[in-house]
Amino acid sequence: MERHAGWLVSGGLVLCIVVSACLGRYAIAPGVILRFIVTAMGGHALSPAQYDMVHAVLTGARLPRIGAAVCVGAALSVSGATYQAVFRNPLVSPGLLGVLAGAGFGAALGIITNMGTLGVQALSFTGGIMAVLFGVGVARMFDAASVLMLVFGGLISSALFTALMSMLKYVADPQQQLPDIVFWLLGSLTQVDVLRLEIMAGPVLVGIVALSACGRMLDALAMGDDEARTLGVPVVALRYGTIGIATGLSALTVSAVGMIGWIGLIIPHVARLLAGPCNARVVPLSAGLGAMFLLVCDDLARCLSVEEIPVGLLTDLLGVVIFISVLRLLRRGWRL
């Protein structure tokens, strides 16, 4: 099982991507897709108008969203797995240090000041990073090396930025801006286009590779700070380095698609069930599983009804169902 988990998840992900490409509100029969491929290779199976439309729907609407779901799902899961390893706590998620609260505040600020969608994204990313820096700053005022102080700093930072965001919601124009802020907070992949995907894909890939590479050192960190040091792991550098990468990943994705919860918390657990606790396996496996999970959720979000369902809502609901169903299995693994 553990040996084959990687292949299983990779295969599942590829299957999910192919199926997702065939699903959508604009009905394209599988036969049309085949004829589309024939036409794309130089044949004449589709009329030019039909070809243009299928091409536009696939490359303009469907594939960017599939790409975004894969990127965001992978990034959030990997980020969660990293946080859980660094904080030696299976119940933490990437929001622990305030990145979500900060990103939400940044996005609200962007919406209120009419920054345009890219501006909102930039401000949201900055907000997420700022919030974590603030939290870490608070931790450093007391004791930089302590995990507890980091959690404490994150708590303060989250509270502060949540309050600031509530303030912005309060002053926002309730007709135009407030619904936009609420929509953003619910999380949705509707706004992702090729440009955003390009911005996101590179850093996400690099981040996942880097965090996978740190997997064994993260295992050592799980044994405790002093032990990790005596095993030759630069604890403080590793902790801040991996938290930095994980935070960057979540800020980048959250700023593009809004708040999407649960993935960062549950997916690493499922990965551990499949492959055991070694982070060198858990991190890449989380990436694949997270990508698959968000892809399925987003397929539901865009296909289930004529209206778009906020995907954050679906990840929350499905996440709870999955969490309850695997909890019994998980309890074997934890010693709480």
* Closest distance to another protein from the beta carbon of 173 (Å): 6
* Closest distance to another protein from the beta carbon of 132 (Å): 24
Does residue 196 interact with another protein by CB under 8 A?
no
| Nearest-angstrom CA–CA distance, 167 and 175 | 17
Q: What are phi and psi of 26, to 5 degrees?
A: -90, 110
Q: What is the contact mask toward another protein in residues 46 to 85, using x (rule: CB under 8 A)?
A: ---x--xx-xxx-xxxx-xx--------------------
Query: Which residues, 201 to 230, sit near another protein by CB under 8 A?
Result: 212-217, 219-220, 222-224, 226-227, 229-230
Query: Which residues, 304 to 333, sit near another protein by CB under 8 A?
Result: 305-308, 310, 332-333
Residue placing its CB nearer to another protein in the complex, 160 or 214: 214
* Closest distance to another protein from the beta carbon of 257 (Å): 11
| Nearest-angstrom CA–CA distance, 251 and 136 | 16
| Nearest-angstrom CA–CA distance, 191 and 97 | 26
Does residue 244 interact with another protein by CB under 8 A?
no
| Nearest-angstrom CA–CA distance, 302 and 38 | 27
Please, is 263 exposed, middle or buried when counting C-beta atoms within 10 Å of its C-beta (0-12, 13-18, 19+)?
Answer: buried
Does residue 336 interact with another protein by CB under 8 A?
yes
Residue placing its CB nearer to another protein in the complex, 11 or 234: 234
Residue placing its CB nearer to another protein in the complex, 91 or 159: 91
Residue placing its CB nearer to another protein in the complex, 53 or 156: 53
**Which one of 27, 41, 321, 324 is in contact with another protein (CB under 8 A)?**
27
| Angle CA 107–166–89, to nearest 5 | 80
What dihedral do alpha carbons 109, 110, 111, 115 form, nearest 10°? 150
**Which one of 127, 242, 272, 314 is in contact with another protein (CB under 8 A)?**
272
Residue placing its CB nearer to another protein in the complex, 45 or 61: 61
Does residue 142 interact with another protein by CB under 8 A?
no
* Closest distance to another protein from the beta carbon of 224 (Å): 7
Does residue 89 interact with another protein by CB under 8 A?
yes
**Which one of 144, 180, 201, 317 is in contact with another protein (CB under 8 A)?**
180
Question: What one-character-per-residue DSSP string does 54-73 give?
Answer: HHHIIIIIIHHHHHHHHHHH
Does residue 114 interact with another protein by CB under 8 A?
yes
Q: Are 55 and 39 in contact (CB under 8 A)?
A: no
Does residue 22 interact with another protein by CB under 8 A?
no
* Closest distance to another protein from the beta carbon of 194 (Å): 6
Does residue 334 interact with another protein by CB under 8 A?
yes
Q: Are 211 and 82 in contact (CB under 8 A)?
A: yes
Give the residue from 96, 73, 78, 94 showing the smallest Cα distance to 281: 78
Residue placing its CB nearer to another protein in the complex, 35 or 62: 62
Give the residue from 330, 314, 31 showing the smallest Cα distance to 187: 314
What's the Cα-to-Cα distance from 329 to each of 282, 286, 313, rounded to whole Å? 17, 17, 25
Does residue 269 interact with another protein by CB under 8 A?
no
